Chains A and B, each alone.
Chain A
């Protein structure tokens, strides 16, 4: 019995993301998420795919605690997201790195300042920032471009800066919302390889929301497919499912 409890406990701590019968409804229309359950373990690399309106964005917003579930429980790093108080949200979000389709860089600042910005927000001492930012830029292959203004960079490079900014605080989970949506195939592939390397080397749990069929099929990772607010498929080493 005791051994069983220990095993159970170990299993729980391995799950960095847990959704238990989660529904989310907005004031109008059908529910954005309808009674979904899933668990993601520490160090996993997961794709979330589905058409527009399938509930992917709502899922990401729930994980970021931008939204709270209408019913069910969302746990991230063992914290019940729905029970977090407003003042606890900033500290909670420091466990999550996020990358967007449109990069969302600060165009009035250079590469270094964009990455350092994430460290300043969590009040890292300046001395530490000076050490950590070049390291993060080296991971994404932009160590030599730290002085460049973001507008001078290609789309792929801008996404790398965004990735460095998401990683510099060393979050255990990285959420990437359509990270290749604005990139050409080569840059898309480079970004995905980079994410894979970060996942393998640092053990960061990575969740990628994407429409990119080729990449999903080529990467052979876990794929969760959503449709109209429900999970229709969850496969280890899965592929992009044609919904037609």
Chain B
């Protein structure tokens, strides 16, 4: 293809948008609305996932050892635990430290006067934090297979709840995104059909003069892609501004919440959201227009 033809096709695609401006605006608005919802949904989801991740990391599995296990062996088991992919951290708590942490609050500051010996003797343990709470059962099974380990304590309810929430969120997201995409493709479809009918004479002349299928169809596909791209830029800008405003508002108005909820920085969020939104916009535009010209533009 000649460069001049490429520019001509691109120009015609842009002209199509303006020639058919009300329908183009309607399409852009609808794609913007869909991708805005998608962006909002993604923003909430990403933050929710991040909070879940923090919560998952907060769920610990505690392992205790049989009496008389050598310190070297305990250390060796600790290394094996840390080497596992589902483990984010494994903290060794000696019996003395466990007593020193627990006693002041539960016995009193003078606990050393009351107890001359450490009642937690032999209760050296590891507190293990997970990267993915869904893999807790695998870890527990493995830990229980180690003969030197006497007991494995864990919160099954917390693990199951978090895993369940994760699954529900994933299914709902996929469902909503699929519906939004289908609606957008349908709308692009309609815009291109209207564009084709508006340019009926021009297309007829092109056919008679000897335009190839590609030449006739490509401005409509370009129109669809451009509508998709414009439609994805608007919600990106809106979400950027809105996200910063909402975080500022929550931080100022509800300072207590910020301790519970760690919002993702806007840069982290947009690192994924920008390419995904632009890709979705262009993809929706391409799919909608390409399918339409193939079906309705018999050259």
Contacts and interface: CB of A to CB of B under 8 A. Distances in A.
Nearest to A119: B209
B208 A98 contact: yes
A104 B204 contact: yes
Contacts of B201: 104, 106
Given A104-B204, A106-B201, A106-B202, A123 B209 contact: no
A48 B209 CA distance: 22
A120 interface: yes
Given A104-B204, A104-B205, A106-B205, A90 B5 contact: no
Interface in B201-227: 201-202, 204-213, 215
A74 B1 CA distance: 32
B2 interface: yes
Q: Is the interface of B mostly helix, strand, loop or mixed?
A: helix
Contact of A118 (B4, B5, B209, B215): B209
A148 to B, nearest CB: 19
B296 interface: no
Nearest to A169: B209
A45 to B, nearest CB: 21
Interface in A82-141: 87, 90-94, 96, 98, 104, 106, 108, 117-118, 120-123, 125-126
Scoring A91, A93, A123 by chain B CB atoms within 10 A of each residue's CB, the highest score goes to: A123
Nearest to B207: A93
Interface string B1-39: 110110010000000000100000000000000000000
A150 B163 CA distance: 68
Given A120-B8, A121-B215, A123-B5, A94 B210 contact: yes
A64 interface: yes
Contacts of A126: 4
Given A91-B210, A94-B210, A117 B205 contact: yes
A90 B2 CA distance: 17
Contact of A121 (B4, B19, B210, B213): B210
A125 B8 CA distance: 11
A133 to B, nearest CB: 14
B188 to A, nearest CB: 23
Contacts of B215: 121, 123
Nearest to B211: A121
A120 B212 contact: no
A206 B206 CA distance: 21
Contact of B4 (A87, A93, A96, A125): A125
Contact of B2 (A92, A98, A121, A125): A125
A93 B213 CA distance: 13
B208 A123 contact: no
A93 B209 contact: yes
Contacts of B209: 93-94, 98, 117-118, 121-122, 165, 169
A165 B202 CA distance: 13
A150 B1 CA distance: 30
Contacts of B213: 87, 90
B141 to A, nearest CB: 63
B205 A93 contact: no
Contacts of A93: 207-210
Scoring B207, B208, B211, B299 by chain A CB atoms within 10 A of each residue's CB, the highest score goes to: B208
A96 B205 CA distance: 12
A124 B72 CA distance: 83
Scoring A90, A118, A165 by chain B CB atoms within 10 A of each residue's CB, the highest score goes to: A90
Nearest to B4: A126
A54 B3 CA distance: 46
Contacts of A98: 208-209
B5 A120 contact: yes
B79 to A, nearest CB: 67
A19 to B, nearest CB: 20
Nearest to A128: B4
A121 B206 CA distance: 7
Contacts of B211: 90, 121-122
Nearest to A94: B210
Contacts of B210: 90-94, 121-122, 169
A217 to B, nearest CB: 29
25 contacts: A87-B213, A90-B213, A90-B299, A91-B210, A92-B210, A93-B208, A94-B209, A98-B209, A104-B201, A104-B204, A106-B201, A106-B202, A106-B205, A117-B205, A117-B209, A120-B4, A121-B206, A121-B211, A122-B209, A122-B211, A123-B1, A123-B2, A123-B4, A123-B215, A165-B209
- The 3 A-B pairs of least Cβ separation, nearest first, read A94-B210, A93-B210, A121-B211
Interface of B: 1-2, 4-5, 8, 19, 201-202, 204-213, 215, 299
Given A93-B208, A96-B208, 7 more contacts: A91-B210, A94-B210, A98-B208, A104-B204, A106-B205, A117-B209, A122-B210
